Amino acid sequence: MSKIRIAILISGRGSNMESLLQACTAPDFPAETAVVIANRPDAAGIAKAQGYGIQTSIVDHRQYVGRAAFEEALQETLLKHAPVDLVCLAGFMRILTADFVNQWQDRMINIHPSLLPDYKGLDTHARALADGRAETGCTVHYVIPAMDEGPVIVQKRVPILVGDTVDSLAARVLAEEHQAYPEAVRIVAARLSGLHRA
Ligand code: GRF
C-alpha cells in the first residue's frame, strides 16, 4: 500500500498530533508523518513527536514581521519535507491567510472542538454550556479561507451531562477528537490516492 505523507502543524500540547502519530504506527494506516511543525518553540508536542522519531521543525511566528513572511517560512519548511500530500492542523493557533490556504486547497484539514457550524472560534465548550445545549462534539473539516468553515469530513457527537464543567466536557470531547482525526485522515487519504490513480 502506498501511503500519503502528512505534515502536522501544532501550537501546544499536541494530543491530537499524538493520536495521528499513534495511528501512523499501524501498518495498514494509509498515512505516514513527514514532519511536525510548531509555531511556538515551547510547544510541548515537539518533544512528544521526537519521542516517536519524527522530524520536527519550529517556525516561530514572532521571528517574522507580518503574516506573509511567517507563511513563506512555513511553506519553505513544508517543501523541505516534500512530498507533503496533506497538511493537518492540530491545535494550530495561527490564522492563515487566504493566499496560504489556497496553496493547499483540498489538501489541508483542521480539527475543531464543536459541531460546526456551531461555535466557531475559541471557548467552544463554555459557550455550549452557557447555552444549555444537550450535546456538542468535534469536527474535522477541509480548511478554506474563512475560519472554522469548509466541508466537513468527520463529526463526533458528545452528550452534555448534568454537572458538566468546561474541563469535564473538554476531556470527553478530546477523547472523541482522538478518534475523529485518524478517521478523517483515512477518508482523505482514500480520496487523494484515487486522484493519483486517475
Ligand atoms: C483541540 O481541542 C483542538 O480541537 C483545538 O485545539 C485543541 C488542541 O489540543 N483546535 P491538542 O494540542 O491537540 O492536545
pLDDT tens track, the chain, 198 positions: 789 999 999 999 999 999 999 999 999 999 999 999 999 999 999 999 999 999 999 999 999 999 999 999 999 999 999 999 999 999 999 999 999 999 999 999 999 999 999 999 999 999 999 999 999 999 999 999 999 999 999 999 999 999 999 999 999 999 999 999 999 999 999 999 987 665
Distances (CA, A) of 43 to 21, 39, 52, 65, 96: 16, 8, 16, 21, 18
112 is catalytic: yes
98 CA to middle of ligand 1, Å?
22
Q: Which three cell numbers stand for residue 15?
A: 494530543
Cβ of 62: how many Cβ atoms within 10 Å? 9
List binding-site positions for (6R)-10-formyltetrahydrofolate.
Answer: 67, 93-96, 110
How many angstroms separate the alpha carbon of residue 190 from the centre of ligand 1? 24
Beta bridge mates, 89: 9, 110
Is the CB of 177 within 6 Å of ligand 1? yes
How far does the centroid of ligand 1 lie from the alpha carbon of residue 15, in Å? 7
For residue 83, give the C-alpha cell: 512530498
Domain boundaries, the chain: 4-197
| Structure confidence at residue 198 (pLDDT) | 53
Instruction: Please tell me the predicted confidence (pLDDT) of residue 65.
Output: 95
Q: Do residues 93 and 11 lie in contact, with contact meaning Cβ atoms separated by under 8 Å?
A: yes
Q: Which of 10, 111, 116, 118 to mutate to test the pocket of ligand 1 (most atoms within 8 A of CB)?
A: 111
Q: Is the CB of 150 under 6 A from ligand 1?
A: no
Rounded to the nearest 5°, which phi and psi values hold at 141? Answer: -140, 155
CATH of domain 4-197: 3.40.50.170
| pLDDT at residue 197, rounded to an integer | 60
**Active-site residue, selected from the candidate residues 61, 112, 141, 196:** 112
Confirm or reject: Cβ of 12 under 6 Å from ligand 1: yes
Ligand 1 contact via 111 beta carbon (within 6 Å): yes
Return the residue whose CA atom lies nearest to atom 7 of ligand 1: 91
Dihedral angle, C-alpha 156, 180, 153, 100, nearest 10 °: 130
Q: Residue 49: which H helix or E strand, with range? A: helix 45-51
